[in-house]
């Protein structure tokens, strides 16, 4: 049997790594005591039956002891920071009661769920105002995956995620449950939400002071809302579900000793086959699941997860039983529907940097449909990053669907992006072709997931048309409706309202 290839590079164009950008903020190792890694609790359903699950999710403010000294003011879901992990079971109908206990309007976007838009999906057209609530119902019909929930009110998505409105969710299905993979949540199955922050006076965050139209970053790594975390390893194998929940930072992950690990899943499915690697680049909004085998270590050893040369998490090795289970070579059969010959290739361009960002040469307007596509039809989309080298890597995301990456500049996709995805990183000057189809109708956004870029206009909107109801109309809000709400809630006149994304439109002399 041929020896399996081990991948020892990050794939992407090194010249475009974010640390070459003029506004790059290098990570620094925290000089504070190590803390146990916070593992978000599982959100308990209000009720569950054989066919339905009921949840209440509350957006709220809080305070968290992140650093010695004063607590940091934060936002979170059903807690002070980030959110409890929600479990969705394939085949069940989900009922969610969404409550806003914040002082300003927000939305609840289910990133990665193939559910109707614009309301259930929770993008900018589904506001929940302070003190109010909204009920949504949707059916889960997609493979097992790690998805997430985050705020998405235009043009303040980035600021609200920076405050802490982001949390993980696990889609479960019978196929994934049948495989010999770690899934004892909190013990050998751990979400790792990668973020970064800058702490100002009295340990507070100041989004406006840190604002950069190419994405806000801070020097301090924050993992699951923990600064300088460690994790106690009590099993030989540990499954890490990475989510890059940062506003702009890509993480270049590797372990001490160049420890090999095995990637088993990407954004929206298991990979067809496991991929062995020592290095993994993950960019904004992507999810990558790996299994780490700590079998060669002994109690008292410490294995460190790094991004570049900065420690993110220290894994403290304890006693564990030997584990001889093997990861199956066949994990998932990805669907491969044929592209409809009547649908031409659809071209999308990711344009510009700083305030000049756009998509297909235009900045986003909430009440404009940029493209229409028929339900259940399969189309090739060509995604081009028009930034000249070195430029920036743009993570391109689509709401409401899972797509397949079919080529990069005419070459094969990277081996760890062969499953279903909702976010794909595109190098400067590169064309990435993806195969797109929608199983739910509605209005959906697609955009760069450097969050300040989407707030600044690198976003567009498509309508998926159901042939059974081709004339269905959707009420689309405009930017001004939301901005007036922000001004009222912040008690400022419109001409004094500051939202990061507004600056990108103003500096280009454009109306929102």
448-460 confidence digits (pLDDT tens): 999 999 999 999 9
246, two tokens = 């940062």
279-300 in b/e form (b: 16+ CB < 10 A) is bbbbbbbbbbbbbbebeebeee
Distance between CA atoms of 507 and 505, rounded to whole angstroms? 6
CB 213 within 8 A of CB 159: no
Residue 34 above 60 pLDDT? yes
29-47 in b/e form (b: 16+ CB < 10 A) is ebeeeebebbbbeebebee
Residue 344 above 70 pLDDT? yes
CB 325 within 8 A of CB 180: yes
In terms of Cα–Cα distance, which of 152, 248, 244, 159 is closest to 193?
A: 244
pLDDT recorded at residue 510: 82
Hey, where are the domains in the chain?
6-31+180-317, 42-177, 346-473
CB 495 within 8 A of CB 482: no
CB 476 within 8 A of CB 367: yes
CATH (residue range 42-177): 2.60.40.420
For tokens 């995604």, name the residue: 383
For tokens 């699941």, name the residue: 289
Provide the CA 491 distance to its chain's centre, in angstroms: 32
Residue 4 above 90 pLDDT? no
**Any idea of the CA torsion for 74, 225, 138, 338, to the nearest 10 degrees?**
130
pLDDT tier, 508 (very low <50, low <70, confident <90, very high otherwise): confident
For residues 453-471, give the mean pLDDT: 96
What's the per-residue H, E or C state across 153-187? CCCCHHHHHHHCCEEEEEEECHHHHCCCCCCCECC
pLDDT recorded at residue 3: 55
Residue 152 above 50 pLDDT? yes
The backbone region for 192, taken as left when phi is positive above 0, alpha when psi lies in -120 to 50, beta otherwise, is beta
CB 172 within 8 A of CB 144: yes
Distance between CA atoms of 507 and 431, rounded to whole angstroms? 29
Distance between CA atoms of 337 and 404, rounded to whole angstroms? 10
215-270 confidence digits (pLDDT tens): 999 999 999 999 999 999 999 999 999 999 999 999 999 999 999 999 999 999 99
Q: Which residue stretches of 326-470 are H helix?
A: 451-455
For residues 458-472, give the mean pLDDT: 95
CB 305 within 8 A of CB 223: no
pLDDT tier, 2 (very low <50, low <70, confident <90, very high otherwise): very low
pLDDT recorded at residue 1: 37
The backbone region for 225, taken as left when phi is positive above 0, alpha when psi lies in -120 to 50, beta otherwise, is left
Tell me the three state secondary structure of residue 262.
strand
Residue 46 above 80 pLDDT? yes
CB atoms inside a 10 Å sphere around CB 62: 14
For residues 292-313, give the mean pLDDT: 98
DSSP state, residue 344: P
Distance between CA atoms of 87 and 175, rounded to whole angstroms? 16
pLDDT recorded at residue 101: 98
Its CATH class, for the domain covering 6-31+180-317, is mainly beta
Residue 394 above 90 pLDDT? yes
Does 6-31+180-317 match 42-177 in CATH topology? yes
Please give the CATH architecture assigned to the domain spanning 346-473.
Answer: Sandwich (2.60)
181-228 confidence digits (pLDDT tens): 999 999 999 999 999 999 999 999 999 999 999 999 999 999 999 999
Residue 32 above 90 pLDDT? yes
For residues 278-304, give the mean pLDDT: 98
> Residue 137: which H helix or E strand, with range?
strand 133-139
pLDDT tier, 282 (very low <50, low <70, confident <90, very high otherwise): very high
For residues 66-87, give the mean pLDDT: 98
Mean pLDDT, rounded, of the chain: 96
**Any idea of the CA torsion for 418, 404, 217, 203, to the nearest 10 degrees?**
-80
Distance between CA atoms of 350 and 193, rounded to whole angstroms? 26
Residue 503 above 90 pLDDT? no
Worst-scoring range by mean pLDDT, 7-21, 78-92, 142-156, 171-185? 7-21
80-137 confidence digits (pLDDT tens): 999 999 999 999 999 999 999 999 999 999 999 999 999 999 999 999 999 999 999 9
pLDDT recorded at residue 284: 98
* Pairing status of strand 229-233 against strand 220-223: unpaired
- State percent of the chain over pLDDT 90: 95
For tokens 């989309």, name the residue: 381
pLDDT recorded at residue 181: 98
């Amino acid at each position: 049997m041929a020896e399996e290839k081990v991948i020892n590079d990050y794939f992407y164009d090194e010249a475009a790594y974010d640390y070459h950008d003029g506004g790059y903020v290098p990570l620094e190792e925290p000089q504070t005591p190590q803390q146990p890694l916070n593992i978000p609790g599982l959100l308990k359903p209000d009720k569950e039956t054989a066919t339905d699950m009921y949840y209440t999710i509350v957006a709220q403010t809080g305070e968290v002891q992140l650093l010695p000294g004063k607590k940091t003011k934060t936002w979170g879901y059903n807690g002070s920071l980030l959110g409890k992990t929600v479990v969705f079971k394939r085949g069940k109908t989900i009922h969610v009661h969404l409550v806003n206990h914040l002082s300003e309007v927000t939305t609840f976007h289910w990133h990665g769920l193939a559910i109707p838009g614009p309301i259930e999906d929770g993008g900018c057209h589904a506001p929940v105002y302070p003190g109010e609530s909204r009920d949504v119902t949707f059916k889960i019909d997609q493979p097992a995956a790690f998805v997430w929930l985050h705020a998405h009110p235009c043009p303040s998505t980035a600021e609200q995620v920076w405050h802490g409105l982001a949390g993980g969710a696990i889609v479960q299905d019978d196929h994934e449950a049948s495989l010999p993979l770690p899934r004892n949540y909190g013990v050998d199955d751990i979400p790792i939400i990668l973020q970064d922050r800058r702490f100002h006076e009295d340990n507070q965050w100041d989004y406006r002071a840190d604002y950069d139209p190419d994405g806000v970053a801070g020097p301090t790594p924050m993992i699951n809302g923990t600064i300088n975390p460690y994790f106690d390893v009590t099993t030989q194998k540990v499954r890490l579900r990475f989510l890059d929940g940062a506003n702009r930072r890509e993480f270049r992950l590797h372990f001490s000793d160049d420890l090999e690990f095995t990637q088993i899943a990407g954004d929206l499915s298991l990979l067809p086959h496991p991929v062995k690697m020592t290095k993994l680049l993950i960019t904004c909004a992507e999810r990558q699941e790996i299994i780490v085998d700590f079998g060669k270590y002994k109690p008292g050893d410490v294995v460190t997860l790094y991004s570049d040369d900065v420690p993110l998490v220290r894994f403290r090795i304890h006693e564990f039983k030997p584990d001889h289970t093997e990861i199956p070579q066949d994990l998932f059969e990805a669907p491969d529907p044929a592209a409809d010959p009547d649908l031409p290739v659809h071209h999308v361009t990711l344009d510009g940097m700083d305030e000049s960002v756009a998509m297909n040469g235009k900045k986003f307007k909430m009440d404009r449909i940029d493209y229409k596509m028929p339900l259940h039809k399969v189309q090739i989309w060509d995604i081009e990053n028009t930034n000249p080298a070195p430029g920036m890597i743009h993570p391109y995301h689509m709401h409401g669907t899972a797509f397949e990456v079919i080529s990069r500049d005419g070459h094969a996709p990277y081996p760890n992006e062969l499953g279903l995805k909702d976010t794909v990183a595109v190098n400067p000057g590169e064309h990435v072709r993806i195969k797109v189809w929608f199983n739910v109708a509605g209005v959906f956004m697609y955009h760069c997931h450097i969050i300040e870029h989407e707030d600044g206009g690198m976003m567009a909107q498509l309508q998926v048309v159901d042939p059974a109801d081709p004339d269905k109309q959707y009420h689309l809000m405009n930017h001004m409706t939301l901005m007036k709400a922000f001004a009222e809630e912040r008690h400022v006149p419109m001409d004094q309202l500051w939202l990061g994304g507004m600056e990108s439109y103003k500096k280009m002399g454009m109306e929102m």
